[in-house]
Structure 1
Amino acid sequence: MKKTTVLLVVLLLSVSGLLIAQGKQEAPAASQAKVLRVAMECGYAPYNWTQTTNANGAVPIANSKDFAYGYDVMMAKLIAERLGYALEIVKLDWDSLVPAVQSGTVDCVIAGQSITSERKQMVDFTSPYYYASIVCLTNGDSKYASATGITDLAGGSATSQLGTIWYDTCLPQIPNAKILPAQESAPAMLVALNSKRVDFICTDMPTAKAAIIAYPSMKILDFAGSKDDFQVSEEEINIGISVSKKNPELTKAINSLLDTLTVDDFNSMMESAISVQPLSN
């Protein structure tokens, strides 16, 4: 009997030791889950913006009490979920986005970036996750409100966001345009227009649609389909996700997901983002 008791005690201790050991081995697994660090401005509605709650599925911004949401966050959440990552949103200013990818501070940028040749020299891009047409915005009472082409904007004062094709490529195509210094952000260029410091600004259609919700007196000037439209290449209106050239595996994985989505899917997600942006409520 004593031998049996001793054997049982030994057996129980062995099992307990095994379970404890397994617990110690499994505990780090949760903390070591893969994290996808995604950078964006968190201030470029409807692509991305900052809000104070997690309403509509907003994601916490790293090292902040605020949350991020918008089309880019919706896309980031989808990518992270499908690829098995935990998602971390990193808020950076526009000029810091590409350097952050290059340095490895973040894994990718999802921030409404055009896939330009200049950027492709520094980072890799996925296939497009949105296709954005170029438009102008003006105030409804402006003499340019009836413009039907860029020629009708001749001589007007204008600005746009720093480091974008809107400012670098499109505005110079307007005859004799008085191009003022570029603005640091999309909200800043909208303020410049609303305060009538400029006659019009150049942007893309999603940004313009979001803007007229916040500023109902503004008017979208869409010259698409006319012979007097901005001349831009496909790469300049294709919006992509930038990834480090040292991480082709991530680019490939994201492309595999994007291949399952259609233009209608992109447009539907964008309309959803526009409908819940803070200033549309």
Structure 2
Amino acid sequence: MRLTPLPMVAAAAAAATLALATACAPADESDSSDDSAGAVSLDQCQGDDLDLHEAGTLTIATDTPAYEPWFTDDDPTNGKGYEGAVARAVAQKLGFGPDEITWITQGFNEAVKPGDKAFDFDVNQFSITKEREKVVDFSSPYYKAQQGVITLEDSEYADVTSLADLKDAKVGAQVGTTSLEATEQLGLSSDPLVYDDTSKAAQALQNGQVDAIIADVPTAFYLVSAELDGATLVGQFEPRTGESEEFGLLLDKDSPLTPCVSAAVDALADDGTLEKLQTQWLSTEVDVPELSQS
């Protein structure tokens, strides 16, 4: 895939984005963690103290290909891209250097299913939902995003101002994602088309098989700037599934690592690391309009 860097935004815009992303983070690091798992201190979460999938290494999973802006050069091991950098920073908080991390490939759909996992945690834009929490654990959120609507510039839907304007459109989204769930808000006259990954949904848009696709806003920016020709991000909206679209690191259900991984994420929010990484990897100068419901 082509690797086109996204433009950077002014610091004020990035700070505003981060204010949403870190709103739920506790102020005191020692109290940081997923409330359902119980609070721990990072002092209790170092290296040999952890119950790991494989002794001596932190096993982290993600899907392939690993898309920008979440990863860079389709290489999770380089610590670049927002999720690549967050994963490395979490590992560091837990006492693991880059050479003490083992990356493995895990498909999105398989990761969210019940059953034992072959990793310590998985990072792959997993939206935290109550339904998923029945079978897997999530860390504290490391990012909060809205959903974006992408269409082609010459489409009749390029100038929509509301979700209701998309009622008669053929809309696509990736299977198993909040983006697909969010299509329910459009009041579509026909069922959305479902794709194995966002890249395939984007190709369907390029080929004229759908009129629009739904993706989280950072991914939408990447698709418009690097994957699609003549496409535009017409607007964004907040999904109704949950209070917001929050991404968390995914772990095995009732994993003993969940409190420690949450504590690491919370610490990164508290010390400003998440803000810096969002500014570096996810910021954009494009002002995306908010789409009304009707």
**TM-score, normalized by the shorter chain, greater than 0.5:** yes
Relative contact order, CA 8 A, sep 6+: which one is greater? 2
List, as ranges, runs of 4+ consecutive aligned residues in structure 1 with deviation greater than 6 Å. Answer: none
Q: What's the offset of the Cα at 1:128?
A: 0.2
Q: Relative to 1, partners in 2 of residues 1:107 and 1:36: Cα closer, same or farther, differing over 3 Å?
A: same
Contact preservation (8 Å) 2:142, 2:247: yes
Matches within 5 A, 1:190-209: 190-209=202-221
Partners of 2:202 and 2:194 in 1: CA distance: 12
Summarize the alignment of residues 83-232 of structure 1 with structure 2, pairs less than 5 Å apart. Answer: 83-85=94-96, 86-99=100-113, 102-167=115-180, 169-214=181-226, 215=228, 217-224=230-237, 230-232=239-241
Structure with the largest fraction of helix:
1
Deviation (angstroms), 1:230: 4.7
Unaligned runs of 5+ in 2: 1-53, 284-294
Structure 2: how far apart are the matches of 1:104 and 1:176?
36
Give the conservation status (yes or no) of the 8 Å contact 1:206–1:270. Answer: no
Structure 1 spans left out of the alignment, 5+ residues: 1-31, 60-66, 276-281
Alignment correspondent of 2:7: none
| CA apart distance, 1:166 | 1.3
Superposition RMSD in Å: 2.7
Amino acid at match of 1:252: P
Deviation at 1:48, TM superposition (A): 4.2
- Matched positions, count: 225
Contact (CA 8 Å) 2:239, 2:245: kept in 1 or not?
no
Q: Contact 1:37–1:108 (CA<8 Å) still a contact in 2? A: yes
| Structure 1 length-normalised TM | 0.71
Provide TM-score, normalisation by structure 2.
0.68
- Identity among equivalent pairs (%): 25
Instruction: Please say if 1:244 is aligned against 2:256.
Output: no
2:83 equivalent in structure 1: 72
Q: CA 1:230–1:83 in structure 2 vs 1: closer, same or farther (change >3 Å)?
A: closer
Larger Cα-atom Rg: 1
